[in-house]
Amino acid sequence: MAISNSVSLKLISLVDPNDDVDYGIRPKRNRNREYTFDYAFDECCSQSQVFQCTTFSLIEHVANGYNATVFASGATGAGKTYTMVGTDTDPGIMVRAMDELFNYMIQTAEDYTYRISMAYMELYNELLRDLLNPGPDFLELREDNKGVQVAGLCEVEPTTRNEVFELLQRGNMNRTTEPTAANQTSSRSHAILQITVKQISRVHSVHEEVRVGKLFLIDLAGSERASKTLNRGKRMTEGAHINRSLLALGNCINALSDSNNKRYVNYRDSKLTRLLKDALAGNCRTVMLAHISPCSWHFEESCNTLAYADRAKSIKTKVRRNVVDVNHHISQYTELINDLRDEIARMKTNLNNSCSGKDRKLLTNIFTRSKEQKLFGTG
């Protein structure tokens, strides 16, 4: 029996499969629900439509120095990984976002130069692991004045689309997946793709700015019940960690959506909420993709997913452009120039004392050119 239906482009109707049951013990409760969101996609929507409506507009913002996050949530088997990762023939948001980013860089190449880097990690049993450079050691979270940082995370700088796709494929192959009764390819971890874009104007100026934008694309593991997944042993431990981190996320959403703004937001209950701190209430444009199943078996999970998504609508973030002003470093360049001039003067003195006139002139030119290359990064 289908219990969810996309009534319109913005409205979702959730029908209680047991609504007609009345055992005479208590008055019958009508648990049918309707929710309104920015978009409501049914099973006929394509990957391209979902990307265009949810993520496409964020790409230009990221390239121009703003932060953005897109994360998929919902019960196990509801389609989160398909939306975010997709397949070889029908790629998801991760591939499409990177492809669109390269398109934008090409379109604006006359005015700006770009450098992009990407990192891919998973949170498995509350342990962070690098998916592009997997090893025996786990990564540590550290906090500084710039926010939460992942120490030791490998960042790769791809220069072509093919390199990006190969890196994503490698990372997805390293991700932890196991079969459960609810999903044969169940993701047992939260996967986080981090893309950093640096934009520099081709018009050189003393007041040169470097804009730094970050895009986080997150495929959350699915919430699950042991009674439905039939998990035992290791799978049950994984499920407990998944549910605990998702509960911490739900608690943060509840606190942030409180209209009185008086509730304490505890981000430290899980590494997931620490990683998502900026996405939830910081300097970031954030899109939440709530996934539900139309099957009546998942009615309770669908209720929870839509309730959290409905609360998340009221959360406000404060977005600002991330700019590094080269003026901050001019004093460093002045000191370096003075040091190099002193060094060149000493070398010239030594040359005058030890070389013939012709050799002296040649070596002086070489030393001078070498110092210029060191200073300006040429050669």
Q: What is the DSSP letter of 22?
A: -
Binding residues, as ranges, are 74-81
Helix (H) and strand (E) counts in the chain:
12, 14
pLDDT tens-place string over residues 157-216: 998 888 999 999 999 999 876 655 454 555 778 999 999 999 999 887 666 789 999 999
**Rounded mean pLDDT of 33-46?**
91
pLDDT tens-place string over residues 65-96: 999 999 999 988 899 999 999 998 999 999 99
pLDDT tens-place string over residues 299-333: 888 999 999 999 999 998 889 999 987 664 566 66
Dist. CA 66–CA 215, nearest whole Å: 8
Label residue 147 left, alpha or beta by phi (over 0 means left) and psi (-120 to 50 means alpha).
left
Give Cβ neighbours of residue 358 (< 8 Å, ≥ 6 apart). Answer: none
**pLDDT at position 64 over 90:** yes
**pLDDT at position 342 over 70:** yes
More confident residue, 57 or 222: 57
Binding residues for ATP, as ranges, are 74-81
- Domain at 4-321, CATH homologous superfamily: Kinesin motor domain (3.40.850.10)
pLDDT number for residue 256:
92
Give Cβ neighbours of residue 80 (< 8 Å, ≥ 6 apart). Answer: 72, 73, 74, 187, 219, 220, 222, 289, 291
> Could you tell me where the beta strands, DSSP code E, fall in the chain?
4-6, 11-14, 33-36, 68-74, 112-124, 127-130, 140-144, 147-151, 177-178, 186-187, 190-201, 209-219, 285-291, 323-325
Label residue 24 left, alpha or beta by phi (over 0 means left) and psi (-120 to 50 means alpha).
left
More confident residue, 61 or 147: 61
**pLDDT at position 373 over 60:** no
More confident residue, 133 or 29: 133
- Rounded percentage of the chain residues whose pLDDT exceeds 90: 49
Dist. CA 263–CA 205, nearest whole Å: 47
